[in-house]
Each structure stands twice: as C-alpha cells, then as structure tokens.
A and B are shown apart, each in its own frame.
Chain A
Amino acid sequence: DVKVTQSSRYLVKRTGEKVFLECVQDMDHENMFWYRQDPGLGLRLIYFSYDVKMKEKGDIPEGYSVSREKKERFSLILESASTNQTSMYLCASSRPGTGVNGYTFGSGTRLTVV
C-alpha cells in the first residue's frame, strides 16, 4: 500500500524550540507539499517542492523553512516555534500532472507549542 508517512501524530514543543516535522513517501513522487490546517481557515500551503533540493514558497511561509535532500523526504522546520504555530500540519505528495492524479496525504501531525 503506497504511503505518505509523517513521523509524529502528536507533538508538544516549547516556545523558541527548533522543530522538525518529517515526511516520507514511498511512491517516487516528484512533488511534495506542506500545509497547515486551522479551524475556519481551511488548508493553507506553507511550502512545496517539485524536485530534490528545489523549494517554492506557498501562501504562508513566514516562520518556516523546508529541506528536501532526497526525493522521498520533505522536512518542515520551525526555526523558533511560537504559540501561533500550534496547528495540524499535513504533508502531501503527487506526480507531475496533478490534474490527473491529485495528491496523497499523510495522517497529519498535530503540533502544540506551549
């Protein structure tokens, strides 16, 4: 069964900590995405990557960075966690030609910053 795996389902971090959220896919997909989901705000794109070492800012990149050193792994980094980054984080991947195939999502990481 093909998968997108996010390393943690639940995470609690302290304000100011550097936080790494990991996402791994086993489908050899070129495109990978990080979203955050908040009540009433829907899905908001943070960053995406269409190839190894390539990254593009989404709608809300401030306070985040990403790393894609290998095709299967896409990491989201919170350089200095703040309470307003408490959210559900969703990773997704897709082949080129998203119009035909859509995305495959991971199960999500619920991050709480205290």
Chain B
Amino acid sequence: GDSVTQMEGPVTLSEEAFLTINCTYTATGYPSLFWYVQYPGEGLQLLLKATKADDKGSNKGFEATYRKETTSFHLEKGSVQVSDSAVYFCALSGNSNYQLIWGAGTKLIIKP
C-alpha cells in the first residue's frame, strides 16, 4: 500500500543553517504531496503542497519539489530561525478520496 518515509529526528541545527528534511514515498497513481508543521502544543498546519510531478511548493521560506523519478518530496530552507523549531510531517493523498497517508514526523530543533 501507499506509504511515506521521513528521516528520523531530532534534527538539530544552528540558526541560519541550511535545512533539508528528507521525505520519500511509495504510491500508486498520482498522489498530491504535503508538508505540515506542528509547533509545540499546537495542531498541525499546512506548510506547503504540490499536486503534480515537478511542481514546487513554497511558503515562509520553505520549499519542496515533487520528484516522481526519485519518489521524493524533500523539505528545504536556506536559513533557519529558532522559530522554525517544530515537528514536520510529510503526507500524501492516497487512493481514498478521504485520507492522507502520514510520515512519522521529524522534530527540528534550532539553537541560537
């Protein structure tokens, strides 16, 4: 069945470092891909999405490109801030009309 694999955390970086959080997927058909962010004590918020191959989603300085050839949707940011500390979830739309398939989440810690 469909699945999402994220790099294990926590990922610890210094402020202004370059960020990559890896996400790969297995899916039949042509899923949409999402990154959600969860700040401490909060629910999840949609960060960005891409609905077809080679699309790039972007928001708040974060970017991710839908790579069908490598079945990947890696999250990147050029210069992270302490306020980016959160848990990041990669997800894909499965064959169901209802459900998203979730990765396990990656905790990001940014140190000043």
Contact = CB atoms under 8 A, between A and B. Distances in A.
Contacts of A33: 99
Contacts of B96: 98
- The DSSP consensus for interface residues of chain B is loop
A48 B98 contact: yes
B71 to A, nearest CB: 16
Contacts of B105: 42-43
Interface residues of A, number: 25
Contacts, number: 60
A43 B46 CA distance: 15
B1 interface: no
B42 A94 contact: no
A32 to B, nearest CB: 10
B43 A96 contact: no
B32 A99 contact: yes
B28 interface: no
Contacts of B97: 50, 96-98
Interface residues on B, range: 20 to 34
B89 interface: yes
> For chain A, what secondary structure do more than half of its interface residues adopt (helix, strand, loop), or is it mixed?
strand
A102 B100 contact: yes
B49 interface: yes
Interface of B: 31-32, 34, 36, 41-46, 49, 51, 89, 91, 93, 96-100, 102-105
Given A42-B104, A102-B46, A102-B49, 12 more contacts: A4-B43, A43-B89, A48-B99, A50-B98, A99-B32, A100-B32, A102-B93, A102-B100, A103-B44, A105-B44, A108-B42, A110-B41
